[in-house]
Amino acid sequence: MHFVRIILTQLDGNRRFLVYNSLMKSITTWDYSLDSETRRLLHTAHLIAIGFYRVNQFLVLPYSYKAHDASIVTFPDLPYLTIHNFWKEVQHITVGQFPLHIKESLLQSTKTLVENAHIQKPQSDTIQKIWQRAEPAILDGIYSLVPNKKGTIQKIIIHPTSFGSTCSFNIITHNINYIELYLQEGLGVATITEALISSLTREDVFEKLGGLWQESELLADWLVTQSSLAQIVKHYDNTNTFSPTIKGIRNKEQPQLTLDSEQFYKKLGIPTGTPPFSLTSDTPTLYAHPIQNLTDTETRILNLFIQKALVLSKRSSYACKHVCYFYCYHMLFRHPQFLIYCSNFNR
């Protein structure tokens, strides 16, 4: 006998039944370990160190700060400077896909810090049970929006975590058919769904549409909250913890939290005044690495933005300076050499 679960929902203005076999095998596995949490920390540290969070207006705060806000990245306050050149080392981590490829000495040293900190294991029993019920409906809803992707996701690996951004994930490509993601404690089906959509569509947004990171995020935010998929998400997620990424980083003026974040950067040992971009003999550099394969026009424009940002840095014009850095990053994001790299800036 086949047991079925019938969900009545509203899709594109027409009532229809979504029928799922309750015995359908889940493609999701959940994994938490000291190793996964250490890798999560190093991934977050990498994005802090290269300036991605700062340029895109995320606030980095101690992980004791509990708020399900897409604009806030929480991070453990550990003695990172006891690891030789920690902040320089994490800049060089390759963030192509999960699991990250990390130098073994850095991984083990950081793992010792995490272990000694006795970071509490995130609670995920509830969301695991909810996601087990929701998974077939969510995947069906996603594939109904992008039918050419149907069946693309062969495996989902979810690592519950106590810190970082709300969710980070790898990108589905022509030769990658799994999604591995980190889910912050307390978040639900909507956040997982947003990650799946972002992963599934980001390569197309970048390579076929010439889009940027923020445009990819905005697409996913809209699909989760405004499309036919939103009704399915609401059926399983009534926690009100989902925070659309772009709305979160653009709409909030939080002067005290901004100040707290700047102080936290200093405490972590990251000089807040260190510019990510600079010029060496008229050659643009990103963290002292020459930026190559640009056209003459691209080089001139990039140099102008860098020069303007450096001038504004001396004047302590925080907002204008970061607008310049924002455009520097996004110039690179449009360059073919950087498309794959920037596609993995996954918060």
Three-state secondary structure of the chain: CCCEEEEEEEECCEEEEEEEECCCCCCEEECCCHHHHHHHHHHHHHHHHCCHHHHCCCEEEECCCCCCCCCEEEECCCCHHHCCCHHHHHHCCECCCCCCECCHHHHHHHHHHHHHHCCCCCCCHHHHHHHHHHHHHHHHHHHHHCHHHCCCCCEEEEEEECCECCEEECCCECCECEEEEEEECCCCHHHHHHHHHHHHHHHHHHHCCCCCHHHHHHHHHHHHHHCCHHHHHHHHCCCCCCCCHHHHHHHCCCHHHHHHHHHHHHHHCCCCCCCCEEEECCEEEECCEECCCCCHHHHHHHHHHHHHHHHHHHCCCHHHHHHHHHHHHHHHHCCHHHHHHHHCCCC
Closest CA to 7 of 303, 262, 228: 228
The pLDDT mean for the chain works out to 81
d(Cα 125, Cα 177) in Å, to the nearest integer? 26
How do residues 297-338 score in pLDDT, each as one tens digit? 878 888 887 887 766 655 544 445 455 555 555 555 444 444
CA torsion 79-85-91-97 (nearest 10°) is -70
How do residues 187-221 score in pLDDT, each as one tens digit? 999 999 999 999 999 999 988 888 888 889 899 99
As a whole number, mean pLDDT of residues 148-167 equals 94
By percentage, how much of the chain surpasses pLDDT 70?
Answer: 78
pLDDT at 171: 92
- Give residue 21's pLDDT band: very low, low, confident or very high (50, 70, 90): very low
Domain coordinates in residue numbering, the chain: 23-274, 275-347
Closest CA to 206 of 88, 324, 346: 346
Encoded amino acid at 168, one letter: S
d(Cα 346, Cα 216) in Å, to the nearest integer? 10
pLDDT at 13: 39
Which tokens is 99 given?
């699991």
Q: 264 with 163: CB under 8 angstroms?
A: no
- Give residue 287's pLDDT band: very low, low, confident or very high (50, 70, 90): low
pLDDT at 56: 77
d(Cα 310, Cα 280) in Å, to the nearest integer? 13
Length of the chain: 347
| CB-side neighbour CA atoms (13 Å) of 144 | 16
pLDDT at 113: 96
- For residue 247, pLDDT beyond 80: no
- For residue 341, pLDDT beyond 80: no
pLDDT at 150: 93
Q: 294 with 335: CB under 8 angstroms?
A: yes
The structure's pTM equals 0.76
d(Cα 302, Cα 295) in Å, to the nearest integer? 10
- Give residue 124's pLDDT band: very low, low, confident or very high (50, 70, 90): very high
